[in-house]
Amino acid sequence: MQVLLSRSRHRAVAVLGVSGMSCLTCYGNPFRIDSKGRMALDMMEKDGSVSNYLFDIDDNLLFLPTRLYLWNAETQIEQSITSGEFATIQRALGLPGKWQAWSIRDATFRDFRDCDGVAIDEQPFIRDLRVMVEGAHSWQGPSWPLLVHAASETRPIALVTARGHAPETIEYGMRLLVEKGLLPKLPPILGIYTVTHPTVRETLGVKDPAMTVPSVKKLAIRDAVNRSLQKYGKQPPHRFGMSDDDPSNIALAISAMRACKIDHPDKRFFVINSNHQDFSKLEIFPMDYPVTKIESGEPLLRDNPQIGQSSNIPNLKSTSERLISGGHASIQVRDITRSIAFYTSTFGLSLKSRSADDWAEIDAEEGFVIRLQRARLPALTSAGVLSTPCLELTVTKPIGEVSDILSSRGLEFLSTTTGAESSCKTLFKDPDGNLISLTFPLTVDAP
């Protein structure tokens, strides 16, 4: 499965109108009923398909003035900040420096959920919504035009947000936007996923309270697709998509849509990244889709490349036992977190594993792994030295045995080490000076 990306030069999100989204619980009547009691099909295409729009709210649809509240345990005081400020300083909390004494607690996000015993029109979300639309600052997020389009064309929508308000509170806010003339009408609301709300999490089957917001959003997307298919039919080529500004959510949205594409290959699945300069639309395609092939019809990326096709290259696979069982590319980077965000948000890849700020592994699909290691030198240096990208190959036999076989073929090794991270490694260079290491996991018994 692959992800193709197209970038709008002028950030014009209107071109993304064929993306699709879905829902959790049905609110209101998603269909228009004519005078004879028949369901109107003005939301459907001639082939019966429906474009379903799925939106994150904060910084994607709306720029809301909702505050967060940091706590200083030393001085016993609270400081309010914006969500944008929180995104900037979050990783500095508790570390030496300006924010060392500050931390988050349960009350930090109190304005992102409903208050008990408060009328719906006085809840924090509704209060912030009124302040937003009555203020002098621009409040429309990058995906706002898509919502207007969905409302104008009677396209069904759903909202997927990290907020913890009751779904009814969010719907009340949507109706408020219509009343103030900011939306032409209320689009059919298939459902609202406020993924930190206890009832919503329970509906999605979340049993572990430690499950992260992106992970719950992933569950919501898959559940939403299934619910939409039940409502609009499984046969038409419906369109589904997700619009979000958070790179972590984007990565998991891609993963969710990829799984949906496998389950429903005849449907179209999109992910829209509305994060500032990374604004882009991605569509999920199967690897054998024509756009992945050159004009001759040959795949650009072979799953099983043929060995020994050229008469000048010996076919070692047919004359000796296989020495390599896989591997990964190892790249030294300055900032693990930044590099993870680059590979997940830019390429739509998934984070496979991470060890603090020392190393991480990116799943590049089809068995290929990109290993990110924090550089120990002040700057990355030129090719052929130890701090440059290195191809690591996993061997099928103990390192010594493989080294002897390869030495008999004329290969000269640079070093052999026993690593602290459960593997033995032997280092050598290819004819161009690129580093290659052979790795044999110590946890695997030698044959």
pLDDT the model gives residue 416: 65
DSSP classification of residue 234 = S
Q: Of the given ranges (18-32, 158-172, 207-221, 396-410), which has the lowest mean pLDDT?
A: 18-32
Instruction: Return the higher-pLDDT residue of 93 and 409.
Output: 93
Distance CA 147, CA 186 (A): 10
Coil vs helix vs strand at 446 = coil
Distance, in Å, from the CA atom of 3 to the CA atom of 427, rounded to the nearest integer, reads 34
pLDDT at 294 over 50: no
Write down the pLDDT at residue 20: 32
The mean-pLDDT minimum among 25-39, 160-174, 197-211, 267-281 falls in 25-39
Contact between 39 and 31 under an 8 Å Cβ cutoff? The reply is: yes
pLDDT at res. 389: 56
Correct CATH for 317-441 of 3.50.50.60, 3.40.190.10, 3.10.180.10, 1.10.8.640: 3.10.180.10
Going by their DSSP bridges, the two strands 423-429 and 435-441 should be labelled as antiparallel
Helix, strand, or coil (residue 428): strand
Q: Are 22 and 240 in contact (CB under 8 A)?
A: yes
* 419 bridge partner residues: none
Q: Which residues pair with 324 in a beta bridge?
A: 395
316 or 216: which leads in pLDDT: 216
pLDDT at 410: 78
Strand order in the sheet with 280-285: 2-6, 280-285, 268-273, 239-244, 53-55, 157-161, 189-194
User: What are the domain boundaries of the chain?
Assistant: 7-61+140-285, 67-121, 317-441
pLDDT band at 321 (very low <50, low <70, confident <90, very high): low
Which of 58-67, 271-280, 379-388, 429-438 shows the highest mean pLDDT?
58-67
Strand partners, 415: 427
Residue 90 has pLDDT above 70, yes or no: yes
**CA 49/CA 104 separation, integer angstroms:** 45
pLDDT the model gives residue 122:
96
Strand, helix or coil at 436?
strand
Q: Which of 338, 337, 339, 321 is nearest to 329 (CA)?
A: 339
Write 433-437 long-range contacts (CB < 8 A, 24+). Answer: 433/383, 433/384, 434/383, 434/384, 434/388, 434/389, 434/390, 434/391, 435/384, 435/386, 435/388, 435/389, 435/390, 435/391, 436/390, 436/391, 436/392, 436/393, 437/330, 437/390, 437/391, 437/392, 437/393
What confidence category does residue 318 fall into, taking pLDDT thresholds of 50, 70 and 90? very low
The full DSSP string for 255-307 is HHHHHHHHH-TTSEEEEEE-SGGG-EEEEEE-TTSGGGB-TTS-BSS-SSPPS
- Is the pLDDT at 161 greater than 90? The verdict is yes
Tell me, what's the pLDDT at 38? 34
